[in-house]
Each structure stands twice: as structure tokens, then as C-alpha cells.
Amino acid sequence: MRILIVADIHANHFALSAVLEAAPPHNALVCLGDIVGYGAQPNECCDELRERGALCILGNHDAAVLGDEIGQRFNAIGQASTHWTQSILTPRNRDFLQSLPLHLAHETWGFEAVHGSLVQPLEEYIQGIHSARPTWERMRFDLCFFGHTHRAASLAELNVAGRRYQTEIHEWKEGGRFSIRGDGWKTLVNPGSVGQPRDGNPLARFALFDTNSREVEIFAVKYDIESARRSIAAAGLPLKLSDRLALGQ
């Protein structure tokens, strides 16, 4: 099977539409959270995922919109976006977000998934060996997908008694393909952000995982950034949210 993996859509339906159009044929769709927040199209993004039967995980911005105290720790721009989203989110989509779990483990596909980390599902950023190690220790499978950092990356560790300890870290700013090694290795994969990349490349990012070959391919695709920016301005959201789309920050 081939599983389409997306993360951090952030209410950017222009980017999500481009990703879904560009994605190779796949059997299932998984979203790693932060469907809403920052962007001006939260209902359109929720509707799209619901209609496609996507398996989705709760992100910190999704939780904030539902009233979780996590939103109180956002900066002024994040709080303004949260309040605006709360004001326009439909009851059906609020119920949809309310139904999302913090963690996904799929025995058949051989991976698990979370928004932040397996230690702190909503808030922890996995950005290097130190922050990855506690999640490596908790992994049930040899592969775990995560989001939250808005940067496409893979972090792998071999920590088996009697064998030399090794780690491998790669950023996939322009996309790329790699295999999940198995044989004692544990690999964390971030597909990058659909709606708000923060690695200097403004293209929408997503991943495709082949459960048979155990290969992951990360893609970077163009979308209508200017229309996304105009929609943010038209909604009266902070203009910094529009500016960062063009910069990939």
C-alpha cells in the first residue's frame, strides 16, 4: 500500500489542493495535525480531509481552537489566529477536530504517528538527536512520522546491544527518496509542512510511504501562494502570516 502523509496544513487550502493534485496514486491519507491555525481556510481544509476519509491526529493549533489552555502560550499572532478561527469554524468541523486522537499506531502499515513527539504529543519539537532520543526509546515500530517543526527531515538511530551506536540525520528541503532501514534502526520522519514551510523553501511539502518497499519519498510542489496571502489579508488576520508564506518562514 502507498500512504500519503501530510502535516501542518494550517488552514491553507490552496496548498492542500496542490498537494492532493500532485500526489501520486495512494491508498490512504494520514494528516499529522495542525489542520487549522494561521491560514484563512480552516473549514475548507477540514471539509477536504473529512470527505477523503483521512486519518488525522490532533495538533497544538487544533487543540487551541477547541479551547485547550495550550493556546494561552501562543504569541499574539497565534492567539489572534486562534480567536478568528474559533469565530468561523462550523460546528461539524469543531466536532471533527474534537474527535481526533493524539497518537496513531497502525499495525498493518508498520508505523506510528504523532504531531509533536511521543513524549509530548502536542508541544515538543523534534529537531535533533537530543530531542529525538526520548521518542526513539518509546517507538513501537521502526518508523514514526511526526510534524510540528514545519521542516522535512529524517532522524534515524541504531541503538542495539553489541553493535556500534549510530545516528543519521537528513533534511529534505527540496524533497527526496530514502528507505526505512529496519534491522534495529528506528527512524523518525517529518514530511514537512503543507501550508506553512519554515526551512526557507516556500513550496508545499508532503510524503508518500510505500508499505511494501518501506520507502519514503518527500515531495515539494508549487501552489498559488499569492492567493493564499490575499485570503489572509482579506480575513483581517495579521499580515505577518501572509508575509511568511512567501519566504518559507
Please report the pLDDT score of residue 153 as a whole number. Answer: 98
Pair 205, 220: CB distance under 8 Å:
yes
Mean pLDDT of the chain: 97
Q: Is the pLDDT of residue 41 over 90?
A: yes
How many whole angstroms separate alpha carbon 98 and alpha carbon 46?
A: 12
CATH code of 149's domain: 3.60.21.10
Please report the pLDDT score of residue 249 as a whole number. Answer: 86
User: pLDDT, tens digit, for every residue of 65-108?
Assistant: 999 999 899 999 999 999 999 999 999 999 999 999 999 999 99
How many whole angstroms separate alpha carbon 62 and alpha carbon 5?
A: 18
Q: Which residue is associated with the grid cell 508564506? A: 245
- List Cα–Cα distances, 16 to 5, 124, 133, 170, in angstroms: 12, 24, 31, 24
DSSP 235: T
Count of all residues that appear for the chain in the document: 249
Task: Write out the residue range of the structural domain in which residue 153 sits.
Answer: 2-247
**Quick check: pTM over 0.85?**
yes
Interval 128-141 mean pLDDT: 96
What's the total number of domains in the chain? Answer: 1
